[in-house]
């Protein structure tokens, strides 16, 4: 009889467990087969032609956002308040994502973005934000390079479900098309 009462109590407790606990269980994506994750098809221009890929929904516990990550790319939490997506075939092609609270000054973030690029490269040039990606509200864009690689800093302003965030993309000199990274970033939303 005591076992039955215990079992009933246990079931009641489990069925009434908190939403946060359920979300944590649901978002342990390493344990969920990729086929069961929400997915989205992306068609975008890539190196002069059209490309179609499937992206799978990922959630950053580190920064409390979601985004779709394309097949062939890996999402990982790098350090507090920073996540990384890298190309599985070429890990020299990668993007860091940093999400900021709404009270963080855009001017301060602009300055920080330039400083981050200057830390690894001697010259930083501004880019025309209107030419980068039509579906992202890019506040500022920068490019830095050396003999072997390019680095890009994009500051994306808050809009609708998108928080303010910074993308820092590192690519070998031979890779000029950043569209897959910008397509993934376009889907970033507050969780």
Q: What is the CATH number of the domain that holds 138?
A: 3.40.1000.10
Which residues sit opposite 159 in a β-bridge?
162
Q: C-alpha 95: how far from its chain's center?
A: 8
Low-confidence ranges of the chain (pLDDT < 50): 1-29
Question: Cα separations (Å) of 52 from 8, 67, 110?
Answer: 50, 17, 33
In a domain, 159, yes or no: yes
Which residues sit opposite 58 in a β-bridge?
67
In a domain, 1, yes or no: no
In a domain, 78, yes or no: yes
Taking only the tens place, the pLDDT of each residue in 10-32 is 233 333 333 343 344 344 445 56
The total domain count for the chain is 1
In a domain, 20, yes or no: no
Which pLDDT score is estimated for 9? 33
Which residues sit opposite 50 in a β-bridge?
45
In a domain, 18, yes or no: no
Which pLDDT score is estimated for 122? 87
Calculate the average pLDDT of the chain.
83
In a domain, 121, yes or no: yes
For residue 67, the enclosing domain spans: 35-190
């Amino acid at each position: 009889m005591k076992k039955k009462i215990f079992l009933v109590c246990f079931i009641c407790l489990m069925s009434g467990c908190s939403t946060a606990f359920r979300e944590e269980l649901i978002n342990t994506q390493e344990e969920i087969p990729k086929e069961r994750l929400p997915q989205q098809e992306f068609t975008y221009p890539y190196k002069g032609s059209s490309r179609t890929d499937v992206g799978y929904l990922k959630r950053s516990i580190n920064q409390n956002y979601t985004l779709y990550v394309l097949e062939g790319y890996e999402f990982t939490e790098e350090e507090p308040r920073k996540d990384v997506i890298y190309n599985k075939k070429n890990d020299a092609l990668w993007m860091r994502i940093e999400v900021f609270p709404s009270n963080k000054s855009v001017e301060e973030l602009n300055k920080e973005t330039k400083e981050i690029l200057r830390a690894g490269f001697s010259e930083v040039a501004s880019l025309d934000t209107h030419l980068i990606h039509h579906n992202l509200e890019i506040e500022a864009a920068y490019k830095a390079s050396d003999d072997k690689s390019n680095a890009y800093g994009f500051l994306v302003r808050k809009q609708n479900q998108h928080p303010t965030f910074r993308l820092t993309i590192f690519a070998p000199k031979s890779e000029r098309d950043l569209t897959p990274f910008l397509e993934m970033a376009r889907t970033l939303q507050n969780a």
